[in-house]
Amino acid sequence: MGDRLYRGRRLRRSAALRRLVRETRLSPEALILPLFIEPGEGVRKAVPSMPGVFRTSVDEALHDAAEARELGLGGVMLFGVPANKDEEGTGAWAPDGVVQTAVRALKADLPDLLVVTDVCLCEYTSHGHCGVIENGDVANDPTCDLLARTAVSHADAGADIVAPSDMMDGRVGVIRAALDESRFQEIPIMSYAVKYASAFYGPFRDAADSMPSFGDRSGYQMDPANAEEAIREAKADLREGADILMVKPALAYLDVIQSVKAHTGAPVAAYHVSGEYSAIMAAIERGWLDERAMLEALISIRRAGADVIVSYWARELARRGP
Ligand code: PBG
């Protein structure tokens, strides 16, 4: 049988051939590395539930960011872990807050490294919810105003992109208006348009110290069973002025990444979240999987249609080369 016209194996015969016809590539510039910043100096604390991830002070974060820049990563995304929390989360928009201070230092040191800031209140509120509480529930509209103040304070410090992750209704519009009024018309919004109430955020809440003290987030984050709703959320955020749409988590929602891309044609980011990362890392530590599992997970997110991937493994990936 020498007459098979189609032989898929012809192009799989060598690494060079496979590389030549590879459809999806994970280039470093499409990856964003999250950094957790806390006050102090010389602080570098391992996050126990996230192997390879640290909470650092600003001076230490500068080393991580310099490495990210050196490796050609697309940027870093900052999360603040403040010294003090209160009912309203006032630390979120403090001009000398932990994120604002970090942004200033990063932009002074590494002006061409893209700095994205997470805009949310949960790291700053004493109760751990993503907004202010009224009558036992997160009050939507008052929270939007505080998020807008937070976003403006980040832009004022020099952030290149603000990324609201709270899932309040209408917050992208309120943030856009506030940025525009404060001379930040050109600062893009990467909105967590499609954020599910996921169990995969567990390790992050350890890292950021943001576990809700009562209830959960299913009153504002999306039901994991819903895919059509994702399109409504994505379109609503675009109408309100979002520039990049985020889907989160990523691996458990590849179908959603694909359909958000297809329905909007907008730049789509996907967040390979803490639990998705730690599950693979834990298996690697036990010798049950090896690093190729992480590569496969990340390439699947890209293949599904994500233009940008937020990953705790961004540096390791970039170090491996193509
Ligand atoms: C804040 C926020 C969360 C994550 C990113 N921004 C946690 C949450 O909603 O509880 C999760 C990131 C991760 O798990 O890696 N609202």
Name the token pair of 254. 């590849």
Name the token pair of 298. 């990340």
Nearest-CA neighbor of 31 among 93, 106, 104, 116? 116
Query: Is residue 209 left, alpha or beta, with left meaning phi > 0 and alpha meaning psi from -120 to 50?
Result: left
Name the token pair of 251. 């691996």
User: Is 275 contained in some domain?
Assistant: no
Residue 87 sits in which domain range?
26-245
User: Is 50 contained in some domain?
Assistant: yes
- CATH classification of the domain holding 145: 3.20.20.70
- Give me the pLDDT at residue 322, please: 67
- Residue by residue, pLDDT tens for the chain (322 residues) are 567 899 999 999 999 999 999 999 999 999 999 999 999 999 999 999 999 999 999 999 999 999 999 999 999 999 999 999 989 999 999 999 999 999 999 999 999 999 999 999 999 999 988 888 998 899 999 999 999 999 999 999 999 999 999 999 999 999 999 999 999 999 999 999 999 999 999 999 888 877 888 888 898 999 999 999 999 999 999 999 999 999 999 999 999 999 999 999 999 999 999 999 999 999 999 999 999 999 999 999 999 999 999 999 999 999 997 6
User: Is 3 contained in some domain?
Assistant: no
Q: Whose alpha carbon is nearest atom 14 of ligand 1?
A: 201
Measured distance CA(110)–CA(126) in Å, rounded: 33
Closest atom of ligand 1 to CA, residue 123: 1
Q: Whose alpha carbon is nearest atom 12 of ligand 1?
A: 273
Ligand 1 contact via 204 beta carbon (within 6 Å): yes
Closest atom of ligand 1 to CA, residue 202: 14
User: Is 20 contained in some domain?
Assistant: no
User: Is 269 contained in some domain?
Assistant: no
Q: Whose alpha carbon is nearest atom 2 of ligand 1?
A: 165
**Diameter of the chain measured on Cα atoms:** 76
User: Is 302 contained in some domain?
Assistant: no
Please state the φ and ψ torsions of residue 67, each to the nearest 5 degrees: -65, -40
Task: State the residue for tokens 């249609």.
Answer: 305
Ligand 1 contact via 303 beta carbon (within 6 Å): no
- Give me the pLDDT at residue 207, please: 83
β-bridge mates for residue 270, sequence order: 247, 309
Measured distance CA(297)–CA(44) in Å, rounded: 28
Query: Which residues are catalytic, by number?
Result: 195, 248
Ligand 1 contact via 201 beta carbon (within 6 Å): yes
204, 247, 253, 312: which to mutate for ligand 1, most atoms within 8 A of CB?
204
Ligand 1 contact via 120 beta carbon (within 6 Å): yes
Ligand 1 contact via 273 beta carbon (within 6 Å): yes
- Give me the pLDDT at residue 1, please: 59
Find the 250 Cα to ligand 1 centroid distance in Å: 12
Residue spans of alpha helices (H) in 209-313: 228-240, 254-264, 274-285, 292-303
Q: How many domains does the chain have?
A: 1
Nearest-CA neighbor of 148 among 162, 132, 127, 160? 162
Measured distance CA(192)–CA(288) in Å, rounded: 33
